[in-house]
Amino acid sequence: MLVVFVHLGTNPSPCLNEMAKIAYHHSESARVVLITNEPGLHPYFPGEIVEYIRQIHNPWFDSFAKRRKELSEIAGGYWSHTLERLFALTAVYEVMGESMLVHVESDVYLNLEQETLSEITRNKSRILVPRYSSELGIASVLLARDRNVLSDGLNELKRILVEDDDLSNDMNLLGAALNLGVLEELPSDPNYPIVIEKKASGSAKFVFDGAALGQYFFGQDPFHTNGRRISGHVNPDAKFDSSKFHYEIRKSYQNKQNSLFVNDIEVLNLHVHSKLKLVPAAIKDEIWGRSLKEANHQINRKPDDFRPDVIHTQQISFVNRFRVARRHGLLISTFKALRRRLRKVMKSNE
């Protein structure tokens, strides 16, 4: 079992090392790997490092990047990097061997054992990712049974991206691939969990998290909440209301470690959108304990101290705003901008 993180560019990844250690904690047999084009920026990564070189691994991405100049110029290239990192997974071929692959974003808490992964990916001939909405996918976690499945899936994603000029980020690319049946959806709705028969515990239920569970439990990126993290965000694009479930921390179905459960369903990954630096789940830990009580409506929510944004630091230029608007249609983009402003005004008056 290969657990793969990808980090491209020089924008900081606030909780990458902590999440890598947690992946080890929940699966001691895992090999944890970081793919990066800047190996020197990660001297303390607790795993193997594989260097990504675009000219070797994905030379075709140069021409795509030239057609989407705004992506490389917005937020220090953040959106361009999040798209390219899917294809940067090709760099892992040289170390993958016969291993199953789990790719997680750098802010994802992974709680997945090899045996469980094997059960989920058995007979799956496509890459698996959660759905974010009816039109969007999300690679908070991405599974591939073997190298062939990964390679075939990435080739299909490349074909879709090159052929469709309307696709410009990882989420709408993954959504298009899910809707075309090129990728397969990972269950991320607790109302429809995965059921696996475990020798020790009998029937066990599991669910993955695209974003909604992590956003509710630990909040959104403070970039969206005026620099202060506050839990309890109910994602409007999710098919379920995260606030309607009961949350607890107890022994995993997979091993002797603690895990987060939602209505007796074990959460296999948690998208910590707020970029918190966490330790393995524990009721006695201050952050976990408080978040658990907040999630179950036992205490009032309290915003954290202000945290300056270190990722989305650059203002979007007028030229890039125009490029984005022209690509999506000027009237549609204008309407969306007005709607966003109206929402901000309404929130400020609440």
Give the residue from 163, 186, 209 where a domain finishes: 186
Query: Residue 220 has what pLDDT?
Result: 86
Distance of CA 350 to the CA centre of its chain: 31
Same domain, 209 and 114: no
> Is the pLDDT higher at 126 or at 81?
126
Query: Residue 286 pLDDT > 50, yes or no?
Result: yes
The per-residue pLDDT for range 293-303, each reduced to its tens digit, is: 999 999 999 88
Residue 344 lies in a domain: no
Residue 327 lies in a domain: no
- Segment 266-285 mean pLDDT: 96
Domain that holds residue 89: 2-186
Residue 285 lies in a domain: yes
The per-residue pLDDT for range 224-246, each reduced to its tens digit, is: 666 778 889 999 999 999 999 99
Question: What mean pLDDT is reported for the chain?
Answer: 87
Same domain, 43 and 141: yes
Q: Place 183 in a pLDDT band, splitting at 50, 70 and 90.
A: very high
Strand partners, 108: 271
Report yes or no: 211 and 138 within 8 Å, Cβ to Cβ. Answer: yes
The per-residue pLDDT for range 133-164, each reduced to its tens digit, is: 999 999 999 999 999 999 999 999 999 999 99
Q: Place 344 in a pLDDT band, splitting at 50, 70 and 90.
A: very low
Query: Residue 313 has what pLDDT?
Result: 46
Report yes or no: 7 and 20 within 8 Å, Cβ to Cβ. Answer: no
Same domain, 169 and 276: no
Report d(CA 138, CA 170) in Å as an integer.
7
Same domain, 138 and 217: no
The per-residue pLDDT for range 53-94, each reduced to its tens digit, is: 999 999 999 988 887 776 666 656 677 889 999 999 999 998
What is the 3-class SS of 322-343, one letter each residue?
A: HHHHHHHCHHHHHHHHHHHHHH
Domain count, the chain: 2
Query: Residue 99 pLDDT > 80, yes or no?
Result: yes
> Is the pLDDT higher at 220 or at 185?
185
Residue 263 lies in a domain: yes
Query: Residue 227 has what pLDDT?
Result: 72
Q: Place 323 in a pLDDT band, splitting at 50, 70 and 90.
A: very low
Same domain, 144 and 238: no
> Is the pLDDT higher at 78 or at 176?
176
Query: Residue 345 has what pLDDT?
Result: 46
What is the 3-class SS of 272-294, one letter each residue?
A: CCCCCCCCCCCCCCHHHHHHHHH
Same domain, 174 and 199: no
Give the residue from 186, 220, 238 where a domain finishes: 186
Query: Residue 198 pLDDT > 80, yes or no?
Result: no
Query: Residue 312 pLDDT > 70, yes or no?
Result: no
Single-letter amino acid, residue 184: E
Same domain, 27 and 123: yes
- Segment 10-15 mean pLDDT: 87
In the chain, the percentage of residues whose pLDDT exceeds 70 is 83
Query: Residue 279 pLDDT > 80, yes or no?
Result: yes
Residue 166 lies in a domain: yes
Residue 309 lies in a domain: no
Which position has the token pair 């692959």? 101
Same domain, 87 and 128: yes
Residue 176 lies in a domain: yes
Indicate the Cα dihedral angle 48, 102, 88, 309, nearest 10°.
-80
Angle (CA) 92-94-96 rounded to 5° is: 60
- The secondary structure element, H or E, covering residue 35 is strand 31-36
Same domain, 49 and 148: yes
CATH number for the domain including 160? 3.90.550.10
Query: Residue 324 pLDDT > 60, yes or no?
Result: no
Query: Residue 182 has what pLDDT?
Result: 97
Same domain, 50 and 74: yes
Q: What is the reported pTM?
A: 0.86
Same domain, 269 and 250: yes
Least confident of 86-90, 324-328, 341-345: 324-328
- Segment 207-223 mean pLDDT: 92
Report yes or no: 207 and 265 within 8 Å, Cβ to Cβ. Answer: yes
Give the residue from 160, 186, 212 where a domain finishes: 186
Residue 318 lies in a domain: no
Same domain, 22 and 107: yes
